[in-house]
Structure 1
Amino acid sequence: MLSCSKTNIFPYFTGQPQPLSGIRIVLLGQKCSGKGMAGDMILFKRLFGTAFNTAQSKRNLPHATCMKHEGDFNGVKVLVVETPGWFSDSSPPDWIKEEVLQGVSMCSPGPHVFLLVVPIFRSFTEKDLKAMVEVLKPLSERVWRHCMVLFTWGDWLSDFPVENYIVREGKVLQELLEKCGNRYHVRNPNRSDNAAQVTELFQKIIDLVKQNKGFFTTKLKQNRKRPWTYKQQQFIEEEWNKREEELIGKVMKALSNEPEKSTVSSAAHSMDEFLIPYCKFDMIRN
């Protein structure tokens, strides 16, 4: 079993070895997209729930804020930040972008993956793509290297393959996937094997971490200014390769030991999920 909090696994982009304390995830998407349920699925607990509404009410805030929860996957620490959603029929307000930046800071030293939540029960439009790009714009183009599309409400597909769904949806959805390196995962609330779904997702995240040699950080440009000798750079690369192998071996070993069955309800319970009837009507209307 892997204990990430005690093991130095990945170097930081400066080349200095830093401990990988676990997997850090940021969830982004519109209202009704299923972010809260996805977060609960990943953590095997009903944590996000009505947290948005409760926090907003207690602090008398004008809008929702990011919510962070942590869990454990067979010894691997998992941190999930859910960012507030925006309405599908309007452009994301500036405070949404600020909250996304806040969500990144809550994943210090940086998130390993941004899961862009896309509900299958409604078409993904040009306006939706522009909104997603706008929300991520303050993080620079580099952020797309760390993005993955998470399709929710996968039960709407029935036995229809997700690849066929992507083709049927057309160029807009395909453009989003291309920006994410064609990385995606489907969350099906009707499947009883929740642990298997999370295992598959974590395997894809680990592949992404290996490809990027670390997590997303806004400090990359500053770190690149630090000079390194050839021998130092060679040592850094050797350490990267060594710790990549250690990361993959240990985390995959943890992933092979499935946790107990999830007790998470498939019912909608996040602030963004309170508007599901509206969303279904919106789908029919469009």
Structure 2
Amino acid sequence: LPSLTPTGRSRQTHDSPELRIVLIGGRELTGEPSNKSLSGNIILGQNVFDTSRRTAQSVAGQQEVHGRRVTVVDTPGWWWHYPLENTPKLDQIEIQNSVHLVSMCAPGPHVFLLVVPISKAFTEEDHKALVELLMPFGERVWRHCIVLFTWGDWLNDRLIEEHIAGEGKSLQWLVEKCGYRYHVLNCHGLGYHFPVKLLFQKIIDLITRNKEQCPQWFEIILRPNVLSNKPVLKV
């Protein structure tokens, strides 16, 4: 792991041309394209992730985008509008295997993008599932989260703020929990560069505001495994 000295953290956080992103979200039972995988492809500017089938296990993709080395980890999703317990057990284990997940973008992600399609309601069940999925990372993880609204064209002439206000308490809770950090992405395919540039700037602003490098809480994740003498994945 990189040095965790304050000087080292500051240098890596603010000057590094690298961005490490983890996508978290739900999936459909109907076989619709994965919002997470499609978002990952748009962010990377390449068809890296397979959108035609569900993401069965976490997979990482990496590209040079706007002068930065960008790593995106696509994770399995819970079933939209269902309790997490209804999601296949193997998917639950894969998402919550935080050591494995973080190791795919070592020394740890800069940001968790919580992918929420504008075309669907974010329900109380989704709220509960998301809280449970992020629980292994601890309460601190919310400081590193941005809500990524997909299918922005569904807004038509409405502002995203109007959508949030009209969607009910669960979505409002999520936006508030993420410090009112959110971004809207259209899913028309590759080549829409400006929204991705703006997203990168929001991520950089988040890193700067946190003033801490992700390995700090990466080690917090590892520590309980060490104390309990459980094997951990070396990175």
- Normalising by structure 1, we get a TM-score of 0.65
Which structure dedicates a bigger proportion of its chain to strand? 2
Correspondence for 1:236: none
Q: Counterparts of 2:179 and 2:163 in 1: how far apart (Å)?
A: 18
Aligned residue pairs total: 204
- The correspondence for 1:31, drawn from 4, 10, 27, is 27
- The correspondence for 2:83, drawn from 83, 90, 95, is 90
Correspondence for 1:237: none
Correspondence for 1:57: none
Correspondence for 1:42: 43
Correspondence for 1:130: 128
Structure 1 segments unaligned to the other structure (5+ residues) = 1-10, 54-62, 224-286
Whether 1:64 and 2:56 are equivalent positions in the alignment is yes
- 16-25 vs 40-49, which moves further: 16-25
Q: Counterparts of 1:192 and 1:12 in 2: how far apart (Å)?
A: 37
What letter matches 2:105 in structure 1?
C
- The correspondence for 1:105, drawn from 103, 106, 122, is 103
SS in 1 for 2:71: strand
- The correspondence for 2:164, drawn from 160, 163, 166, is 166
Q: Is the 8 A contact 2:142 2:178 kept in 1?
A: yes
- The correspondence for 2:67, drawn from 75, 79, 83, is 75
Correspondence for 1:115: 113
SS in 2 for 1:65: coil
Equivalences for 1:203-282 in 2 at 5 Å?
203-216=201-214, 217-220=217-220
> Following TM superposition, by how much is the alpha carbon of 1:69 offset from its aligned partner in structure 2, in angstroms?
0.5
Q: Counterparts of 2:51 and 2:166 in 1: how far apart (Å)?
A: 34
> Following TM superposition, by how much is the alpha carbon of 1:181 offset from its aligned partner in structure 2, in angstroms?
0.5
SS in 1 for 2:170: helix
Q: Is the 8 A contact 1:39 1:82 kept in 2?
A: yes
Q: 1:157 to 1:101 in 2, by over 3 A?
A: farther
Structure 2 segments unaligned to the other structure (5+ residues) = 29-33, 224-235
**Larger relative contact order (Cα-Cα within 8 Å, sequence gap ≥ 6):** 1
Q: 1:189 to 1:77 in 2, by over 3 A?
A: same
Q: Which has the larger radius of gyration?
A: 1
Correspondence for 1:262: none
> Following TM superposition, by how much is the alpha carbon of 1:15 offset from its aligned partner in structure 2, in angstroms?
2.5
CA RMSD of aligned residues (A): 2.6
Q: Counterparts of 2:99 and 2:78 in 1: how far apart (Å)?
A: 15
Residues 140-187 of structure 1 show CA distances to partners (whole Å, capped at 9, x for unaligned) of 000000001000111111111111000001221111111111100011
Percent of residue pairs bearing the same amino acid type: 46
